[in-house]
Amino acid sequence: MKPLTGKVAVVAGATRGAGRGIARMLGEAGATVYCTGRGAAGTPSGGRHAGRSETVEETAEMVSAAGGTGIAVRVDHAVEAEVQALYARIRAEQGRLDVQVNVLGSPHVQGFTPFWETDLSKDLPGLQSYVWPHIITCRHAIPLMMEAKSGLIVTVQESHALGYGGSIFYDLGPATLKRLMYDLAEELAPHGVAAVAIAPGFMRTEEVLATLGATEESWREVAATKKEAQDWGFAGSETPCFVGRAIAALAADPEVMRKSGAILSSWSLSEEYGFTDVNGERPHWGRYFAENFPQYANPATRTGRRWELVEVGAASGGGETTEETELA
């Protein structure tokens, strides 16, 4: 039997990219997956994805083809009424929710300018539009999990670290969502629900492949010959399914509460659980990035301090906490 047979998942932001890969791999593990997002048949994506053709219906078909049950629902996760309707439907149709994954866009920035030069009329709405959909979605997903006293909530983030992002508004969005998972982990610990942040490596999404003129068959050649690909670290990339298998492995782990509150990565979970990417390889973006981009992997700080996660044991429920650490 597949490890997630009988389990119900929501992948919020499943239209393309990491969300599509995650939905597919939860399906591969046997789950019923509600694939949600704004890009649906008859209502194409807007914003930075305007003109792209992917839909949640296509993703749901891929989930079913992988061995699960895919259900497409057009949802704008910034609209609370639509989110409420989604979980009311799941309650009526399934009576449970086991996995909630949020892949809801990327930080909005107008530019990497000093904070005192930012245009708040543009940057504040961008921050809100990035953070609020996660909060709204978690608020309405959690009650279904609490009733069963089990479940896993995941936010997918670009980085597994807590270092400064180079711009206050670029930094605040991801840092807030990582903190949200830690806060939820603390509140939900007595209820058996885990919450984590997970970072994939550099992914070969549909958009990245198109931008670089590559396919899954030709990407290695492109990585070796195209300067833009080399500048991006394309040779160390992974498919969106790699982080999907990471989340599927976590969801199937009966000891997942041990990781609640943590910031994890696709490559570290691959080493722990033993899964590979869909091409049979085991990419390790953390190691590749450190070896090829050392100036970014361990940047200097002006204060001599950085924020990190440190393990503090299981005295009050286990997990990890965030502390300010002085650099040597």
Instruction: Determine how many CB atoms are found less than 10 A away from the CB of residue 273.
Output: 14
Transcribe 195-224 into DSSP letters: EEEEE--SB--HHHHHHHT--TTTHHHHHH
Catalytic residue among 170, 182, 273, 288: 170
Tokens of 204: 């070969």
Transcribe 97-126 into DSSP letters: --EEEE-------S-S--GGG--HHHHHHH
Pick from 245, 196, 240, 272: which is nearest to 2 by CA?
A: 245
Tokens of 115: 């904070």
Tokens of 195: 């919450």
The secondary element (H helix, E strand) that includes residue 154 is strand 151-156
Cα separation, 316 vs 312, in Å, equals 9
Q: What's at 182, amino acid-wise?
A: Y
Q: Confirm whether 164 is a catalytic residue.
A: no
Backbone angles phi, psi at 129, to 5 degrees: -70, -20
Please tell me what DSSP assigns to residue 19: H
CB within 8 A of 294, min separation 6: which ones?
Answer: none
Residue 203 and residue 157 in contact, taking contact as beta carbons nearer than 8 Å: no
Residue 59 and residue 35 in contact, taking contact as beta carbons nearer than 8 Å: yes
Active site positions, annotated: 170
